[in-house]
Structure 1
């Protein structure tokens, strides 16, 4: 989280920034688990995958690369970047008002 949200920021702006960070973290964690071929039978892996699939529903299978890993990185990565940019932009806007 950016230092400007820690000191003197409104609670709503901090909350929005933290939610955006957590959403991006979940998506990034799923990308990492996928690339490292995590055990899909594990409860934690299944939870992270389900949460990431929900968060990236709009960008899932958006790209049609031949390699599955490229589709996962681009689809889920795009969602993570959008959530970070939109969340922090909104948090900054709330902070100013």
Structure 2
């Protein structure tokens, strides 16, 4: 599931950086979902430049979700 969350965040990063039409329903869904998933990290760092800000705001939670999922999975398989 964490990989799906990370995929949504990465998709939004690409859509934002490629200047997708935010009026589009699909783009709007990805934006809403990414904002919800990354709510805790948006604005964590304040940097100059839109590209770097988007990468930090949405990339950090994507990495965190995947890292936590991998740690939990490795511990679950270690017990088995």
After TM superposition, the score normalised by the length of structure 2 is 0.93
Residue of 21, 24, 35 corresponding to 2:6: 24
Distance 1:44 1:95 in 2: 37
Q: What is the CA RMSD across the aligned residues, in angstroms?
A: 0.9
List runs of 5+ in structure 2 lacking aligned partners: none
SS of 1:38's equivalent? coil
1:36 to partner: Cα distance:
0.2
List runs of 5+ in structure 1 lacking aligned partners: 1-18
Q: What is the number of residues matched between the two proteins?
A: 79
1:69 to partner: Cα distance:
1.9
Query: Which aligned pairs between 1:1-97 and structure 2 lie closer than 5 A?
Result: 19-97=1-79
Distance 1:49 1:95 in 2: 34
SS of 1:37's equivalent? coil
Q: Which runs of 4+ in 1 moved over 2 A?
A: none
| Aligned counterpart, 1:6 | none
Which protein is bigger by CA-based radius of gyration?
A: 1
